[in-house]
Structure 1
Amino acid sequence: MFEAIGFTFLGFLLMELAGWFIHKYLMHGPLWMIHKTHHQPSKSFFELNDLFSLGFGSVAVLLIFLGMDGFDYRFWIGIGISVYGISYFFLHDVLVHRRLKWFDRPKNSFLKGIFRAHQAHHRTNKKEDAVSFGLFIVPKEFFKNEEK
């Protein structure tokens, strides 16, 4: 059981680290033509950038299927990536971008920090000059208490 929890956590952590790297160096690099749809106003529910989520989800499904026989490390890493994807959906798409208006703006200080970091990331709609590329791992400055 501890092994399953460990590999699930590892999958989650690896997804955050890989996501940060991919976002900074690929999405804001050679794959900008796809990612820029996320930085531009749109009236559509879907954007070309959603292809990245399909890609990450496909990796998770593949790992789960490869590890199903015996529930080995691949299965649990795939589960960790899936948990990350679900978290991403709720934090990024629902809470921050309000693609589905299920919740109000965050009141929790951790969620506020994530929200502020993502707002700072979207201050530019250009390939360059963006900040804060992670979802959970963001600079400390975004978690400082607001001035009253």
Structure 2
Amino acid sequence: MQTLLWIVVFLLTFTIMEFMAWFTHKYVMHGFLWVLHRDHHHKDHGSWWERNDFFFIFYALISIGCFLLWQYENVWIGLPIGLGIFAYGFTYFMVHDIFIHQRFKLFRNANNWYAKGIRRAHKIHHKHLGKEDGECFGMLLPPTKYFKTK
């Protein structure tokens, strides 16, 4: 029973992180912390590092905090939550930074329906250079219209 509960908490955390990514992206990154996210939309900074990368660090610290809660305070739920946040962050990094933005030249030939839909949605998001009028703030579950072919 404990293993099943651990798996449910892990999967629930991973799933909730997609909503957290959407919410953070829409209301924080395109809101009061636009100053950190702006360079991700304007590639005029001339650096591999973007201020936008601080958001990854924030969620990494939350994940580490959950691991520490589990390790030093013996709070069992800290481990599956920490791993769920880490797994989502790793997935987000692989999809967003490696697959879409090609920060490392991997997965360039992925061309299935899901890959195409993710690319379309992200391209629409980046067509807006300002913090207003944005759309497609999620990452792994964009609106279904981006998966349809004409």
Measured against the shorter chain, the TM-score band is over 0.9
Q: Does 1:103 align with 2:103?
A: no
1:137 to 122, 141, 146: 141
Q: Which amino acid aligns with 2:38?
A: K
CA contact (8 A) 1:95 1:105 kept: no
Q: Does 1:66 align with 2:69?
A: yes
CA distance in 1, matches of 2:126, 2:93: 17
Deviation at 1:106, TM superposition (A): 2.5
Aligned-pair identity in percent equals: 38
2:87 to 71, 80, 83: 83
After TM superposition, list the pairs within 5 Å mapping 1:1-148 onto structure 2: 1-41=3-43, 42-68=45-71, 70=74, 72-145=76-149, 147=150
CA contact (8 A) 1:114 1:138 kept: yes
**Deviant stretches of 4+, over 4 Å:** none
- What is the RMSD of the two structures over their aligned residues, measured on CA atoms? 1.4
Normalization by structure 2: what TM-score? 0.91
- Structure 2: runs of 5 or more not aligned: none
Q: Which amino acid aligns with 1:20?
A: W
Deviation at 1:75, TM superposition (A): 1.1
CA distance in 2, matches of 1:71, 1:82: 18
Deviations 1:67-123 (A, max 9, x none): 235561121011000000110111000000001112214312112211111111000
